Amino acid sequence: MTGNSREQNDFELLQLEPSFDITKEQLEERQRDLSKVLHPDRFVSAPPGQRRAALGQAIAVNDAVRRLKDPVYRGNLLLSCKFGAPDDAPMAAPELLMEVMELREQLAAARSQGSGAEVDRLSQKVYMRRGQLLTELSDRFERLAQLDSQQRGALIEALRTKLGELRYLERFVEEVDRVLDDVS
């Protein structure tokens, strides 16, 4: 991530309470609502500066929605803007990195053998793990909001590690999707 100023405004720009549990549907609904207000057709007769400003706001809304759909980004942003955590990329535990490396090797082997069944098995395994991790993150974010600032430190670090894990699992899911396209 880059500096805080833009990122802190994504929740605000969409007029949403900062939360890890924002759904894709909620984001898309806010996007539709704000797009109705900012649509270029509403500014056809407006002065050029006002048209450009509305277009800029519409683009900003679309960008904010795209970013907030990413649970890793959303979690990091929440930690940064609501709890003052650093906004640098979270790191995963070394054990997970080794596990993902092994999964990538298995995926590469399945791909070279054209084994759609093995790719499906790996896909199901990672999707299940991803779902469990998202649930765990949601629970931890909820717990974090209930703690005082002195108690938050260790939980913030644990959340950052879990977000790092999620980042690697998300990348693996993207890779599996590409391989599924190749072997299907």
Q: How far is CA 28 from CA 67, 73, 149, in A?
A: 12, 17, 33
pLDDT at 20 over 70: yes
Task: Please write the tens of the pLDDT for every residue from 124-139.
Answer: 999 999 999 999 999 9
Task: Please write the tens of the pLDDT for every residue from 42-96.
Answer: 888 889 998 899 889 999 999 999 999 999 999 999 998 888 887 777 788 889 9
DSSP letters, 116-133, are: HHHHHHHHHHHHHHHHHH
61 in Cβ contact with 35 (< 8 Å)? yes
Q: How far is CA 87 from CA 6, 28, 111, 114, 157, in A?
A: 12, 25, 36, 40, 12
Q: Return the residue matching tokens 């899911």.
A: 173
Q: Residues of CATH 1.10.287.110 domain(s) within the chain?
A: 4-83
Classify domain 94-183 by CATH architecture. Up-down Bundle (1.20)
Residue 1: which pLDDT band, with cuts at 50, 70 and 90?
A: very low
DSSP letters, 141-152, are: HHHHHHS-HHHH
What does DSSP assign to residue 114? T
As a whole-number percent, the residues of the chain with pLDDT over 70 amount to 95
Q: Average of pLDDT values for 28-46?
A: 89
154 in Cβ contact with 86 (< 8 Å)? no
Instruction: Go through the chain and tell me how many residues it has.
Output: 184
Residues whose CB is less than 8 angstroms from the CB of residue 35 and which lie 6 or more positions away in sequence, other chains included: 58, 61
Q: Residues of CATH 1.20.1280 domain(s) within the chain?
A: 94-183
How far, in Å, CA of 46 to CA of 164, rounded? 46
| pTM reported for the whole predicted model | 0.85
pLDDT at 150 over 90: no
- The CATH H-level (homologous superfamily) assignment of domain 4-83 is DnaJ domain (1.10.287.110)
